[in-house]
Amino acid sequence: MLPVAKINKLQKEYDLIKTDIYDPAKMSDRKYYSKISRRFKELEEILNCWQEIQDLGKMISENSEMIENETEAELREMAREENEEAELARSEKVEVLKQLLAPKDPNDDKNAIVEIRAGTGGDEAALFVADLYRMYSYLAERKGWKKTYISANETGVGGFKEIIFSLSGENVFGAMRYESGVHRVQRVPVTESQGRIHTSAISVAVLPEADEVEIDIDSNDLKIDVYRSSGHGGQSVNTTDSAVRITHIPTGLVVTCQDEKSQLKNKSKAMKVLRSRLLDLEISKQEAEISASRKSQVGTGDRSAKIRTYNFPQSRVTDHRINLTSFKLNNILLGELDEFIDALGVAYKNEMMNG
């Protein structure tokens, strides 16, 4: 059954917002204008999809009338063929509409902080951290997102023990949220002379970037230490105390940043990460309450869970949450993740709708 009453309600909301969109006085409030612009775009997509469903329905009705009344057999057959195509297109559009009308997480529109850390596997895990960092960099480039490097702990083999960066743009967290979890890699390491396949693991955490208004941090809850930045091997690379370590006393969260020469810039970056981690803690608490009544499969969920395996000998990537396998490993490592992002998004929305 089509949600006519809901669509009518959304049409009224669209008409109201439309007056604000073209009101010069409203444009001066950038935060409000950005918010209504996003909502206007969402409503426009829903209403356009609804209109296409209506147009296809009208075509099916007219063709059905022709099939019933037309005396010429060739015209009746053409109408039948048109109807088969139109009915298929209409059912596909109805599914799209269901997805568009599904409850949306308000965090989806946020920018994201991405943290990638090496787990089991030593140097091989550190190299895979670098591989995924490049993969997400390519994805950001394809999506038109801005990537900002925050901090990293490099190894001597061209890998990273840890790397943290932010992504900003349209629907960043909505697309990246499903990357949180343990990623496994199965391949023959460059350093392995026997040619044996090793399995290594790394963890990815994707946090919605928090606004200062959302997360109010009491300065009395912070312990801030400054020290001299150190490079690979521990040698000092700066003559001033520009590196910053911030400890949030109530939670015990510790954030460090030493990549900028300015102490102020390092502190600003560290505070951005701290706010996002505190927001993530709040979201995790909410999800824990939800999962008490419903087991989430594809949300941010348990970050210790193995979510995806990258098998190099078979050029295979498998997402274990939705049992989706692709044999385009090289393309995926070049940031072509849409197949996974879209499928996970559909699974997540279906899960939300089905409770």
CB atoms within 10 A of CB 285: 10
pLDDT (0 to 100) of residue 181? 93
**Furthest C-alpha separation in the chain:** 92
pLDDT (0 to 100) of residue 156? 78
Does 237 lie in the same domain as 123? Answer: no
pLDDT (0 to 100) of residue 118? 94
Residue at 276 is within a domain: yes
Residue at 338 is within a domain: yes
> Is the separation of the CB atoms in 177 and 287 below 8 Å?
no
Does 172 lie in the same domain as 302? Answer: yes
Which residues of the chain register pLDDT less than 70?
1, 191, 193, 212-214, 230-240, 286-303, 352-355
> Is the separation of the CB atoms in 145 and 219 below 8 Å?
no
Residue at 290 is within a domain: no
Q: From CA 112, how far away is CA 266, in angstroms rounded?
A: 18
Q: Encoding tokens for residue 244?
A: 């910053």
Does 135 lie in the same domain as 60? Answer: no
Does 162 lie in the same domain as 96? Answer: no
Does 113 lie in the same domain as 86? Answer: no
pLDDT (0 to 100) of residue 90? 93
pLDDT (0 to 100) of residue 57? 92
pLDDT, tens digit, for every residue of 134-151? 999 999 999 999 999 888
Does 194 lie in the same domain as 229? Answer: no
> Is the separation of the CB atoms in 336 and 328 below 8 Å?
yes
Does 116 lie in the same domain as 136? Answer: yes
Does 202 lie in the same domain as 118? Answer: yes
> Is the separation of the CB atoms in 125 and 200 below 8 Å?
yes
Q: What is the pTM of this model?
A: 0.69
Q: How far from 199 is each of 72, 310, 312, CA to CA, in Å?
A: 67, 10, 11
Which domain-ending residue is among 285, 312, 336?
285
pLDDT, tens digit, for every residue of 234-280? 444 444 678 899 999 999 999 988 878 888 889 888 888 998 888 88
Q: From CA 285, how far away is CA 22, in angstroms rounded?
A: 40
pLDDT (0 to 100) of residue 203? 94
Residue 25: which residues within 8 A CB-CB, separation 6 or more?
Answer: none
- Amino acid letter for position 59: M
Residue at 291 is within a domain: no
- Residue 264 sits in a domain whose CATH number is 3.30.160.20
Does 130 lie in the same domain as 43? Answer: no
Residue at 130 is within a domain: yes
CB atoms within 10 A of CB 83: 20
Q: How do 160-168 and 181-187 pair as beta strands?
A: unpaired
Which domain-ending residue is among 252, 285, 318?
285
Q: From CA 313, how far away is CA 187, in angstroms rounded?
A: 6
- Residue 194 sits in a domain whose CATH number is 3.30.70.1660
Does 90 lie in the same domain as 53? Answer: yes
Does 237 lie in the same domain as 207? Answer: no
Number of domain units in the chain? 3
pLDDT (0 to 100) of residue 104? 75
pLDDT, tens digit, for every residue of 14-35? 999 988 888 888 778 877 887 7
Q: From CA 147, how far away is CA 252, in angstroms rounded?
A: 28
pLDDT (0 to 100) of residue 137? 97
Range(s) of the domain holding residue 270? 219-285
